[in-house]
Amino acid sequence: MYYEFQIGNLFLILGVIAVCKWLSDKMLTLQITPAKVDLTIASVLFGMLLFLHAEVVTFKSFHLGAFSFDWTFLNMQIILFIYLAVTVSSRIGMVFLTGTLILFYWERGFFHYWQAWLTFCVVLGISLAMCHYAAAVLRHFWRSYLVSVLLCFTIWATTALTITRDSVGDWVINFGLFSLQFIIVNAFNIRLQRDYNREMMLAKQANYDELTGLKNFRAFRADLNQRYTDFRQRNSRFVLVTMDIDHFKVVNDTYGHLIGNDVLRQTAEVLRQVVQLEPACNGAYRTGGEEFSLLLTQQDDIWLQNLCRHLQDLIRQQRCQTAQGTVRWTMSLGCDVILAGDSGYMEVYRRADKSLYASKENGRDQTTICGTRLAVHA
């Protein structure tokens, strides 16, 4: 066996995992859907495994050392197959796992042996279970290692049907190399995950309001700028809704800042629910002390009016119990749309803020859309 090739294979595995992690982080940062992220990562890993299968076929065309070279790629294929199972833990991953395993058994001619059909079912069952219970498997190293060894031995038992030249010592050495590679790859993957979690924590601290959990003004400006860029490039029209809790200073002065914080949190939860239930709502933000904003994909005027009325009704239904009594509150809204003549992304914000000011001047608990006051009831 050509054990020196195992070192090169290890670095190649680490490189592939690093690329997959970079792609995943980049796509999630760009707010690409998890399904597309899974499809991309699974495609990269499947492409790498397909390349390795081609390498095996190429080396088998040489008479001398064909089987030994075949072994040098086996551990690599198994480790990447395991990484696919625990990384793309979705139906997309299960489809790719099944396809990869079929290719693996077909390319090596295992389907000519009746024993291989049994091991195929076992390996497929283990890999799909790893995919489905990926979080539980990865929670403890010994779990992932034991399951991986079980999968590895099943594949090796199938490989033994076609390989007769290797001694028991070769098998022992190969198992030791597999264990070493698996430990290194697992440690490397854990380190990448910890780095990613730390980056996500710092990003959340920088872009999210600690009290309400909504995005803050910094994230609002970045998202608003991105929406403006999309409008310029693809004419993706959008609406900005700015909101302000009416008489919030009175709430703080009368009931205290802790109650005021509860009011802010309940208001944020209402906005979060609206974003979840309305597909056209793209994001909710806390842009100031008692100020909030929503970014919406532009719909018809009736839809926007109904949304604003519904939002104000939800706020009116909120209650906060205190020793001094029940706290109720309302919100004033100002809305405006992006225009072709806008010179920058802050233009729509200035107009929406002006409409919000008009709502507060007209008695509060009002909605003003593009400078026109909306009746409270239809």
Tens digit of each residue's pLDDT (9 = 90 or more) over 236-258: 899 999 999 999 999 999 999 99
How confident is the model at residue 62, as a pLDDT? 47
Buried b (16+ CB within 10 A) or exposed e, 21-44: beebbebeeeeeeeeebbbbbbeb
**Greatest distance between any 2 Cα atoms in the chain:** 90
157-174 per-position pLDDT tens digit:
888 777 766 677 777 877
What values do phi and psi take at 125, rounded to 5? Answer: -60, -45
How confident is the model at residue 66, as a pLDDT? 42
Quote the tokens at residue 362: 């007209």
Residues 6+ apart with CB under 8 A from 368: 333, 334, 335, 355, 356, 358, 359, 362, 374
Sequence spans of domains, the chain: 4-207, 217-374
CA atoms of 66 and 58, how far apart (whole Å) = 9
**pLDDT at residue 67 is higher than 60:** no
How confident is the model at residue 171, as a pLDDT? 74
What values do phi and psi take at 371, rounded to 5? Answer: 85, -5
**Contact yes or no for 238/337 (Cβ under 8 A):** yes
Mean pLDDT of 25-35: 75
Q: Is the pTM of this model over 0.85?
A: no
Which of 45-54, 144-153, 234-243 is least confident? 45-54
| Region of residue 205 (phi > 0: left; psi between -120 and 50: alpha; otherwise: beta) | alpha
Residues 6+ apart with CB under 8 A from 147: 126, 129, 130, 137
How confident is the model at residue 56, as a pLDDT? 61
173-195 per-position pLDDT tens digit:
778 878 887 888 888 877 777 77
**Contact yes or no for 343/274 (Cβ under 8 A):** no
Mean pLDDT of 303-330: 92
What values do phi and psi take at 114, rounded to 5? Answer: -65, -30
Question: β-strands 331-337, 325-327: how paired?
Answer: unpaired
Beta bridge partners of 240: 295, 336
DSSP 141-179: HHHHHHHHHHHHHHHHHHHTTT--S--HHHHHHHHHHHH
CA atoms of 355 and 336, how far apart (whole Å) = 8
* pLDDT more than 90, % of the chain: 36
**pLDDT at residue 64 is higher than 70:** no
Please state which CATH class domain 217-374 belongs to: alpha beta
Residue 68 pLDDT class (50, 70, 90 cuts): very low
361: number of Cβ within 10 Å: 11
